[in-house]
Amino acid sequence: LRPGVHSTEMSVAEHTARVTRLYRRSLKTALNWAIQRDLFNEEARRIRSLFERNRDLTDPLKIQRVLREGEAYLKSKQHPDPWTPILGTWRIEVSAK
């Protein structure tokens, strides 16, 4: 916490960043579990609806509680062997003629 800021107070930018990180991590976790793209798309719509349901919350205590619950739920759903992209293992060579 920053000095002089109550634990339930959060700037709009901090709040937006925290919610965005939770949303992106939720989608990435869903992608780890999805075998087929249509299953992922269905889960992504469900996740979006959960975030939209809480979009208009204004009570700082309730917002904090919902975020903590969402982060705890996400932690419980982590894949034991998450997918990680392999970067930089191949390249295309173009020869000039």
Cα–Cα–Cα angle for 85, 33, 44, nearest 5°?
Answer: 95
pLDDT at 1: 46
Backbone angles phi, psi at 4, to 5 degrees: 80, 0
- Alpha-carbon distance of 20 to 66, in angstroms, equals 14
41 vs 35, residue with greater confidence: 41
pTM over 0.85: no
pLDDT at 81: 85
